[in-house]
Amino acid sequence: MPEVVAQQVKSDVGLASALRSSTLRLSRQIRRQRVEGVDLTANQLGVLGALGKHDAMTIGELAAHEQVKPPSMTRIVSNMEEAGLVARRPHDTDKRQIVVELTESAHALLHANRRRRDEWLQTKLKKLTPEERDILRKAAAVLERLAAT
């Protein structure tokens, strides 16, 4: 480890900077790992992820979540529907709205993606020392709390 980093990290401003840099770098690499043969656009991936968390969302909610205008989301969902990734369903009480849900194969894809990323990360973790892994074990919980607030 370069001395410069060790020194910077002592101050809080240095901690923020070091954490920003290392987190962004690692996340870029994690993001790069995904199942082959399936090429989705960034927005399709975003929709998949959002539905993975929230189960069922309307077109408008998805558009807001993905920072995209409603007409664009209409087309994104249509494409994903043709690809068998999502299904449209009428809203229970409001007939204007359309509820979008993941299909079984989309759930499987999400799961496979996560699995692949985890496997990749595990092989990298094996190269660290037990002490380093221990530090990351504690840090994961803190990072989770940091991202949650």
Name the minimum Å distance from CB 54 to DNA: 14
Name the minimum Å distance from CB 96 to a second copy: 30
Residue numbers at the binding site for a second copy (CB under 8 A): 1, 5-6, 9-10, 12-13, 15-31, 42, 114, 117-119, 121-122, 124-128, 132-133, 135-147, 149
Name the minimum Å distance from CB 66 to DNA: 8
Evaluated on CA atoms 113, 116, 120, 121, the torsion sign reads: positive
Name the minimum Å distance from CB 98 to a second copy: 26
Burial class (CB in 10 A: 0-12, 13-18, 19+), 24: exposed
What is the Cα–Cα distance from 86 to 52, expressed in whole angstroms? 11
128 φ/ψ angles, rounded to the nearest 5 degrees: -85, 165
**13 touches, from DNA, a second copy, none (C-beta below 5 to 8 Å by class):** a second copy
Residue numbers at the binding site for DNA (CB under 7 A): 41, 43, 58-60, 63, 67-72, 74-79, 88, 93-98
3-state secondary structure of 14: helix
3-state secondary structure of 100: strand
